[in-house]
Amino acid sequence: MKKPIEFNTEHKLAGTLARAGTLKTEHGTIQTPAFVTVGTKATVKSLTPEQVKDLGAQVVLANTYHLYLQPGEEVLKSAGGLNKFMKWDGPTMTDSGGFQVFSLGVAFGTKVGKLAKAGEIIVGEEIEKGDEAGKLAKIDEDGVTFKSYKDGSEHRFTPERSIEIQQSIGADMIFVFDECTSPAAPHKYQQEAMDRTHRWAKRSLNAHHANKEASEKQGLFGIVQGGRHRDLREESARVLAGMNFDGYGIGGSFDKDDMYNAVGWVNAILPENKPRHLLGIGEPIDLFGAVENGCDLFDCVAPTRQARNGALYTNDGRININNAKYIKDFTPIDSECDCYTCKNYTRAYIAHLFRSQEMSAATLASIHNLRFLIALVEKMRTSIIDETFLDLKTKFIERYYK
RNA sequence: GCGUAGGUGGUGGAGUGGUCUAUCACAAGAGACUGUAAAUCUCUCGCCUUCGGGCUUCGAAGGUUCGAAUCCUUCCCUACGCA
């Protein structure tokens, strides 16, 4: 049986879990660690695939639930798969729809995010005050019933169904259907949800391998859950490590201050010869913790969403380009950044585009934020190989927060 | 000059005797955003404040009234029409 993806470690950084490697897929080889660009609806918002490629982006992650709702799996299948459909010729991934169990479920209509500070979490709060009837996702043992956020129509995802759709979409790497829990859920619920996610993982694995053609082309990633609890995280890592996945995702919610530790607990247990993807993280600072604690891949909507909202990364911290002080600032967003935007435009110009609500504001800002992150991870990779990672980390963080 | 309709906070525009510092939108100021429900959302937006409240506003000046952005008088200004 042919292996769909192949992961090799090139260099491990002593005293940490960090590693530099390569991940071979049908559509090319990814140098890890790598930032995975998010293209939920088969497009990186505001960018063409050519622009995405020019950023140095190596891999794009789309979303099963969104593509299932629109344009539908038949269209993706008829198009010849995600790559051809969106004209991206590099490696791809699809998320399973597991995050939507959370974002359209308990989190819907609340301010609850997947990251929370321990002191600010009121366990069970949103379960009590949440209006169950208003939620768009409802979980049972077999799967999840969703109400479309677009038109209210009802849809049903099971692990088998998610895998089937992901096979139609045809990304190089796909994820099991899981439940992303809320940070406010109590330990008891986290355990129930984790156990259910493990049962779903097994079902996803069986469903994928039942299709020999697909499973030889698409790598399937299991997803570790367990919330912010060490006992659950470690148990989840052990259980999933015992199943034959091609790679592992680390999902769910975290205590913001303890996230890197949680990632370390898990990666100390997961098999070393498989790639590890930290789902939905993160911002520049977060990537250091993720890499240091053994992650090879991470995706995040933050760079693109924040870019569209005017929050731009610089080596001296995040700036809000909408602030009045940038109206006459004729310097680049970050003079050390090598992106197209920074090489050609000023803060004043970007500020003007935002204030006049020009679409190019989103494009130029997204180019910057993505390139900033991708370049940062490129530096991390180099620094793992030449053993200067910790120095890079210390200097970056010190300056970013100054 | 006559007639008509008006003059409300940065702008547009509600309000037409008390519940008015005055609906709402925009503009402006700031904040948030982490497997995309998001080119979104939240807060501030007369002045002062020990955050309890205090003080001053609705073209201007007078007046009626317990009470006026709202009623009356005069004046100033704007738009349109007629001379």
Model confidence pLDDT, tens digit, residues A336-391: 999 999 999 999 999 999 999 999 999 999 999 999 999 999 999 999 999 999 99
| Distance of C1' in B54 from CA in A318, Å | 40
Among candidate residues A285, A292, A283, the one with its CA nearest the CA of residue A262: A292
Helix (H) / strand (E) element for A25: namely: strand A19-25
Reply yes or no on whether the pLDDT at A177 is more than 50. Answer: yes
Reply yes or no on whether the pLDDT at A129 is more than 60. Answer: no
d(CA A48, CA A35): 18
Residues 130-149 of A with CB under 7 A from strand B: 149
pLDDT value at residue A360: 98
- The reply to whether A350 has its C-beta less than 7 Å from any atom of strand B is no
The average confidence (pLDDT) of chain A is 95
Amino acid A23 reads L
| Distance of C1' in B21 from CA in A355, Å | 29
Helix (H, G, I), strand (E, B) or coil at A178: coil
d(CA A367, CA A342): 9
- The reply to whether A347 has its C-beta less than 7 Å from any atom of strand B is no
Task: Give the pLDDT mean for A46-61.
Answer: 98
Task: Give the pLDDT mean for A191-206.
Answer: 98
Reply yes or no on whether the pLDDT at A120 is more than 80. Answer: no
Task: Give the pLDDT mean for A194-207.
Answer: 98
d(CA A369, CA A287): 14
b/e for A21-48, b at 16 or more Cβ within 10 A?
A: bbbbbbbeebbbbbbbbbbbebbbbbbe
Catalytic sites of A, residue numbers? 95, 299
For A7-36, write each residue's pLDDT tens digit.
999 999 999 999 999 999 999 999 999 999
- The reply to whether A234 has its C-beta less than 7 Å from any atom of strand B is no
Q: Which of A131-140, A219-228, A242-251, A254-263 has the lowest mean pLDDT?
A: A131-140
Confidence of residue A228 (pLDDT cuts 50, 70, 90): very high
Nearest nucleotide to A94 by CA–C1' distance?
Answer: B35
- The reply to whether A248 has its C-beta less than 7 Å from any atom of strand B is no
DSSP letter for A256, please: G
| Strands annotated E in A148-252 | 154-157, 173-175, 219-224, 247-250
Confidence of residue A130 (pLDDT cuts 50, 70, 90): very low
Nearest nucleotide to A36 by CA–C1' distance?
Answer: B35
Reply yes or no on whether the pLDDT at A124 is more than 80. Answer: no
Chain B bases closer than 7 A to any CB of the protein: 27-41
Reply yes or no on whether the pLDDT at A267 is more than 90. Answer: yes
Q: According to DSSP H, which parts of A48-186 are helical?
A: 49-54, 64-69, 73-79, 82-86, 98-103, 125-129, 159-169
**Residue A176 backbone zone (phi > 0: left; psi -120 to 50: alpha; other: beta):** beta
Pull the structure tokens for residue A355: 């204030």
- The reply to whether A106 has its C-beta less than 7 Å from any atom of strand B is no
Among candidate residues A377, A373, A387, A396, the one with its CA nearest the CA of residue A32: A377
Read off φ and ψ for residue A63, nearest 5 degrees: -120, 130
ipTM of the complex: 0.94
- The reply to whether A306 has its C-beta less than 7 Å from any atom of strand B is yes
| Distance of C1' in B38 from CA in A2, Å | 41
- The reply to whether A38 has its C-beta less than 7 Å from any atom of strand B is yes
pLDDT value at residue A402: 85
| Distance of C1' in B65 from CA in A191, Å | 72
Amino acid A123 reads V
| Distance of C1' in B43 from CA in A205, Å | 47
d(CA A18, CA A313): 24
